[in-house]
Structure 1
């Protein structure tokens, strides 16, 4: 690719995933040879070329391409985190030649443009809250906006205002259809489901839920991550949270479910009411299954599938809703993962001995600098925070 016109033509095909293998190789070779030169087209050039794709809000595009860039870099001792201010033109050019090579950016971008046939891979280090509709289309949710949520037929099924989506119960749906919401690192969000149930979603969480609950069927949702449920009472329709191999069944109550992949156990903390815990491949049996009482935590061991219970101070486990952060008998390795999720940062720990040590700590709505300072005070760890990077020596 030597001329600007040839570059534009192939990049257009590349972004639209229409390149032949030879053309894809040309794009990759071009990037490798030219690195970060200014030979790529400008933002305006890209927008003019891609007339087949709806225009994107510049902030949304900037965020997407910034994260493509962040994910494309080789892992070194310190990994750079997406910065608040970025060079949009440079991200466009880098994204155009890295998407297929890395296999991550294009799928997400096509999801944003509602052209993907398969579910796009979600990067939790994005800055966008993503709502996937029942037909596979994707809608970006900005906490500063107010928008309508529509079904595949254009009917309004919910309304988003700020950091909350409220689903109505007036649609004529006769079978269960699902929406899926994905909360990136560093953010939280709220949902009011069609039955009036309020769900607080923590950062790094995915929830799949019915657009409308159907009469005669259980109210079931699927959780990866952490959420606090304030379930509307309905004795005829049990509310079930599926957390992989665990089901949590209630009729109407307040409880917290934490189901993050790094944890060995899925924890359920009951604030009030009654909760039944049982394996997802089994039917609920009140006489045999674990029934939690208020003020208790039930822990499902993923390895042996056993459930244990103990009394706890529930506020410790629900403080995250108001910005709190709590660690109980947790390894520093897992603490790092939760700090990365909470603050949308990348932490590289070179202190192997520290990784396995366990800590108990609680924080209010503190900055990452204050949290790291705390661990320094009690353990004397050496760390560097630079350009939103954290390196523990």
Structure 2
């Protein structure tokens, strides 16, 4: 990397940290005018170790246009410096909302930012490890981040919590399989938990979700679970006993693979994301024959890196970014061109809050990489820095306005 390359990275760093002088901003904008500037900047950032953990996204046209207007509306000297086109404004705005350090765009004058102040007393902490286990006899056990040990005993089974924080089922008497019944592991809003099924399959359960399964897993011809909400599965391979995840409108059938299913009852769609192996997604479709609606069963097969979306009796398959789709399992929110309602729905489940929209729902698409370990204030303030949306917190209610 030569001196000129390092200088470009320095300008970019100062742009991110809001420390660039007017001359440096002018130089950076001049660099961005070149046709190959965007690609060169990405290439340089990939080579630079200090910036290797910065995730870049190209923001939506609405935000780019807004930034452009802010640039040209500033005091007179800047009008001479910045003669940016809309395309250049987009290129100059590649930086994602960095919640961990609360970086704001340099082009938004600090004197005009109207970010909501959220006091520590009213701030809302993130979700935590927790769930409720309902046994076959109807009794319930509240699970938290307690130490490892035995949780319960059922016919032929020992249920415990291991050092990894997982609920583990261990078969201690195969002759008792016929006495087994259904168990349900459920998380409330603001909770997440991990489960190890009797066949060794691992399940990560997201907030406001439940998984129901028969404890005689290994005695049945098929391993079936019922899901409401979202879960990530790492299924132990068994060619003779398929693993089936049933949700409200679909079934996902596998032999042994890694995949994610998101099927909240209040969502408009159900998604299945494949990380490894292969899965078959069966669903009930609909078609019209003259004046009559005909319903029938259909099936599609996914390859790694693909996601199916079931909505209104139709299914679509697309190639997706696995890091984005599975971010919740690794403790992050990653949004890439997502509307505010979808973002707030995920936030509401994790922070156990109610979302109330006052007036029109804010428009625009948002992109960002946010740790789920942050208080809700840091996420809301970062979203507000786009100046497309504003928030007010009252108790566990978050009011959203344009």
Aligned pairs for 1:47-126 (under 5 A) are none
Q: Decide whether aligned partners of structure 1 residues 297 and 127 sit closer, same or farther in structure 2, where only a CA change above 3 A counts.
A: closer
Kept after mapping to 1: 8 A contact 2:132/2:143: yes
Structure with a larger share of its residues in strand: 2
Q: Decide whether aligned partners of structure 1 residues 230 and 126 sit closer, same or farther in structure 2, where only a CA change above 3 A counts.
A: closer
Give the match for residue 135 of structure 1: 137
Kept after mapping to 2: 8 A contact 1:247/1:280: no
Give deviations 1:164-195, integer Å, cap 9, x for gaps: 10111333333352110111222211001111
- Residue 382, structure 1, aligned to residue 390, structure 2: yes
Kept after mapping to 1: 8 A contact 2:206/2:230: yes
- Residue 159, structure 1, aligned to residue 160, structure 2: yes
Alignment partner of 1:234: what SS? coil
- TM-fit CA distance, 1:322: 1.7
**Unaligned segments of structure 2, at least 5 residues:** 1-120, 286-297
CA distance in 1, matches of 2:184, 2:208: 13
- TM-fit CA distance, 1:293: 0.4
Q: Decide whether aligned partners of structure 1 residues 378 and 246 sit closer, same or farther in structure 2, where only a CA change above 3 A counts.
A: same
- TM-fit CA distance, 1:361: 3.7
Give deviations 1:325-348, integer Å, cap 9, x for gaps: 133554422322211111122332
Q: Decide whether aligned partners of structure 1 residues 298 and 380 sit closer, same or farther in structure 2, where only a CA change above 3 A counts.
A: closer
Give the match for residue 325 of structure 1: 333
Give deviations 1:241-281, integer Å, cap 9, x for gaps: 00112000110011111111232211111111001000279
- TM-fit CA distance, 1:157: 2.4
Alignment partner of 1:289: what SS? strand
TM-score for both structures, normalised by structure 2: 0.59
CA RMSD of aligned residues (A): 3.0
Alignment partner of 2:190: what SS? coil
**Unaligned segments of structure 1, at least 5 residues:** 1-80, 85-124, 282-287
TM-score for both structures, normalised by structure 1: 0.61
Give the match for residue 75 of structure 1: none
Aligned pairs for 1:287-306 (under 5 A) are 289-301=299-311, 303-304=312-313, 306=314
Q: 1:231 aligns with which of 215, 235, 239?
A: 235
Kept after mapping to 1: 8 A contact 2:189/2:207: yes
Alignment partner of 1:159: what SS? strand
CA distance in 2, matches of 1:206, 1:83: 28
Give the match for residue 256 of structure 1: 260
CA distance in 1, matches of 2:145, 2:129: 11
CA distance in 1, matches of 2:319, 2:123: 42
- Residue 198, structure 1, aligned to residue 205, structure 2: no
Between the two structures, name the one with larger relative contact order (CA 8 Å, sep ≥ 6): 2
Aligned pairs for 1:265-284 (under 5 A) are 265-279=269-283
- Residue 340, structure 1, aligned to residue 341, structure 2: no
CA distance in 1, matches of 2:367, 2:277: 28
Of 271-280 and 171-180, deviating more is: 171-180
CA distance in 2, matches of 1:128, 1:324: 18
The structure 1 segments of at least 4 consecutive aligned residues displaced by more than 4 Å after TM superposition are 81-84, 125-128, 386-389
Give deviations 1:282-308, integer Å, cap 9, x for gaps: xxxxxx72110011111112x22x221
Q: Decide whether aligned partners of structure 1 residues 270 and 127 sit closer, same or farther in structure 2, where only a CA change above 3 A counts.
A: closer
- TM-fit CA distance, 1:367: 2.9
Kept after mapping to 2: 8 A contact 1:149/1:156: no
Aligned length: 265
CA distance in 1, matches of 2:168, 2:196: 5
- Residue 174, structure 1, aligned to residue 177, structure 2: yes
Q: Decide whether aligned partners of structure 1 residues 212 and 148 sit closer, same or farther in structure 2, where only a CA change above 3 A counts.
A: farther
Of 172-181 and 217-226, deviating more is: 172-181
Kept after mapping to 2: 8 A contact 1:83/1:388: no
Which structure has the larger Rg over C-alpha atoms? 2
Give deviations 1:189-234, integer Å, cap 9, x for gaps: 1001111101111111100012231335110001111111000010
